[in-house]
Amino acid sequence: MRFQVNRDVFSEAVSFVVKLLPQRNPQPILAGVLIEADDTGLTLSAFDYEASARTTIEATVETPGTILVHGRLLSDIASRLPNAPIEIAVEDDGGITVTCGSARFTLAAMPVEEYPSIPEVSGSSGVVPADEFGTAISQVGFAASRDDVTPVLTGVQLEVSGQSLSLVATDRYRVSLRDVPWDGETVESTALVPARTLLEVGKTFGHAGTIQVAFSGAGDREIIAFTAGNKTVTSLLIKGNFPPVRRLFPEQTDHYAVVNTADLVEAVRRVSLVLDRAAPLRFTFSTDSVTMDASGSEHARASESVDAILSGGDEVTLGLNPQYLIEALGAVKSEFVRVTFTSSDNANKLSPVLITSQTSVDQAGLDSFKYLLQPNLLLR
């Protein structure tokens, strides 16, 4: 094999395919990047049995062939090479040489025959706007659990219904939901995608124009694929039943407060500085303000008030996890935020608060982002 390729194009391609590989892989062969060269150019792929990434780029191929080389090492080298064309070749002794200007590296070849086959996708599919989908992933993905004890909660549930694709995530303490337009087959489909993989898809494809989403496979090898331009990411789906969290969202939202998002974020960050770890922050929503109070160790105390408008009910006092609230406020992406106080039939159970976007003091936001946060018990 021998080919020449633009340095920036090659570096970006290698960086893309290695992003989804775990930092440490129990099988060394899965740390490799597969490079296939033919008359049409180069195809670069990476796969760890759960997620795969593949991209095609232009190159001048003198001798077609296939090589497997350590991905992260190749990515580090490619990103630091001088601004000149790269030539990669397989030498007579089997070593792989990477030449760029006066820089020359020799890398060990990994056994291509031991590398697993990259998943091929053929199934129902549709198209979503890349910018909205990327935003939706960032608004929902952070609410997925990071605890592998319950795998179904580490994923984001994708649900196709009619002309809408919904994204839902929960870690039991909060639920995040967002809908985006779906243009494609209207067969109802669901896919529980690992949040880590989906977040990378959002970062990589968020400015791609449109993203094709395809569902494929069956049984224990159900996969989903995301394609934009010359790049494709596939992911093995998480098996299990995602909890029915949609029913937790209230229909009536008459009792709520509207607050400036940035002002509330900054105040929460300041007041929570004195809180002990995992302790809730006390919020009191009154007619024209929301007041935050915190007591910590070493007799430290803090309080601050921010302007707010309360509608539809009496003053409310509750405790909220400050970090969970800050993450929700960062996802709102609007100047104002609406904090709605829901009601419960169980008098002994605290009702969650509903957080949504608010374009202005008196106008609800246009997007479908919803975030439910379970209050904490306040110690008297």
Question: pLDDT tens, 86-101?
Answer: 999 999 888 999 999 9
Structure tokens at 300: 């430290």
DSSP 348: T
User: Which residues touch 284 (CB under 8 Å, ≥6 apart)?
Assistant: 290, 291, 293, 315, 316, 317
CB 7 within 8 A of CB 35: no
Between CA 213 and CA 163 the distance in angstroms is: 14
Between CA 180 and CA 135 the distance in angstroms is: 10
CB atoms near residue 309 (< 10 Å): 17
- Residue 190, CB half-sphere, CA atoms under 13 Å: how many? 12
- Residue 130, CB half-sphere, CA atoms under 13 Å: how many? 15
- Taking only the tens of pLDDT, the chain with its 380 residues reads 999 999 999 999 999 999 988 777 778 999 999 999 999 999 999 999 999 999 999 999 999 999 999 999 999 999 999 999 999 999 988 899 999 999 999 999 999 999 999 988 877 789 999 999 999 999 999 999 998 889 999 999 999 998 999 999 999 999 999 999 999 877 788 999 999 999 999 999 989 999 999 988 776 789 999 999 999 999 999 999 999 999 899 887 789 999 999 999 999 999 999 998 878 999 999 999 999 999 987 789 999 999 999 999 899 999 999 999 999 999 999 999 999 998 866 655 678 999 999 988 877 777 799 999 999 865 54
Between CA 138 and CA 330 the distance in angstroms is: 10
| Cα Rg, the chain, nearest whole Å | 25
Structure tokens at 135: 């935003």
Between CA 225 and CA 233 the distance in angstroms is: 6
Q: Is 30 helix (H, G, I), strand (E, B) or coil?
A: helix
